[in-house]
């Protein structure tokens, strides 16, 4: 089905659905008529929450009754709207994930992980929230985020492509400018060169970021260097985590993969293949 059809079934605006698909699956939908991958559509439909049935009417209460709990006090306060209440609840849900992310980043820094990031994670606004968490934990350490050359090439292509939506062009430009600024500060390093392009089925050298990043993760694991890969892409997540199951190469190093969500929190991107259990998880 296309985005318009899925939007009607989920009762969500197509624009917000595009953002959700980019955020959760790392897939860019260009127009309302564009087809949505079957697995993504099925996943979104399976997680859709049905509209709740209206609650039975409650008897009127004495308006002069004073609130007998903090919760009643909040509900009766004229200064807090329903939208603000929902926002406060959402913040309460996200804060444990942000707290864990701070511990997780600190663990990666202390254990000298190499941190790589994918194009799709750089294109979402939540990346900048994550980056603030990263800088807070980084402190004076020499830890850096590595951006592969092919990711830079993908951003350049997205920035100048006339076939992409303006939001994608703008997001790619913003990410590219930010990377260059942070590279000058020594917080980000661009790694690789033209040799990282790979031959496609038509014998042409093309940019394929996921393929190159998986190669680099394998190289560093074989070289006894643990890595963290940040991506919104489900398939790339599974491929990267399966490197930990390689039988031909024994290594104490391992690969972690996370995606970025609200507040900059890092969470697992799949249940198909799991991340190794860390000491901070026990």
In this prediction, residue 173 has a pLDDT band, given cuts at 50, 70 and 90, of very high
pLDDT confidence of residue 80: 57
pLDDT tens-digit readout, 25-36: 767 676 677 788
Q: Give start-end residues of each CATH 3.40.50.1010 domain in the chain.
A: 96-281
Contact 186, 144 (CB under 8 A): yes
96-281 to CATH, choices 3.10.450.710, 3.40.920.10, 3.40.50.1000, 3.40.50.1010: 3.40.50.1010
Band the pLDDT of 93: cuts 50, 70, 90: low
- Comparison of pLDDT for 214 and 247, the residue scoring more: 214
What confidence tier does 135 reach under pLDDT thresholds 50, 70, 90?
very high
| pTM passes above 0.85 | no
- Which of 19-33, 101-115, 122-136 is predicted least confidently? 19-33
């Amino acid at each position: 089905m296309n985005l318009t059809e899925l939007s009607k079934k989920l009762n969500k605006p197509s624009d917000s659905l595009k953002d959700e698909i980019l955020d959760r699956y790392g897939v860019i939908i260009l127009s309302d008529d564009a087809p949505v991958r079957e697995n993504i559509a099925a996943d979104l439909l399976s997680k859709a929450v049905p509209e709740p049935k209206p609650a039975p009417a409650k008897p009127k209460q004495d308006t002069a009754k004073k609130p007998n709990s903090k919760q009643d006090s909040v509900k009766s306060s004229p200064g807090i709207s329903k939208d603000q209440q929902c926002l406060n609840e959402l913040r309460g849900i996200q804060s444990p994930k942000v707290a864990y992310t701070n511990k997780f980043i600190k663990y990666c820094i202390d254990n000298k992980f190499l941190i790589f990031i994918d194009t799709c994670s750089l294109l979402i606004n939540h990346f900048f929230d994550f980056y603030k968490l990263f800088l807070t934990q980084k402190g004076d350490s020499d830890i850096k985020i590595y951006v592969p050359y092919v990711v830079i090439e993908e951003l350049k292509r997205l920035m100048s492509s006339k076939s992409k939506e303006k939001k994608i062009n703008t997001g790619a430009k913003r990410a590219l400018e930010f990377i260059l600024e942070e590279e000058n500060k020594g917080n980000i390093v661009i790694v690789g060169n033209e040799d990282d392009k790979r031959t496609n089925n038509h014998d042409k050298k093309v940019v394929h970021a996921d393929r190159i990043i998986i190669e680099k993760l394998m190289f560093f694991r074989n070289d006894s260097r643990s890595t963290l890969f940040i991506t919104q892409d489900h398939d790339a997540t599974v491929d990267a985590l399966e490197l930990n199951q390689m039988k031909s190469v024994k290594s104490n190093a391992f690969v972690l993969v996370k995606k970025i969500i609200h507040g900059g929190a890092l969470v697992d991107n799949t249940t198909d293949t799991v991340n190794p259990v860390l000491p901070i998880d026990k």
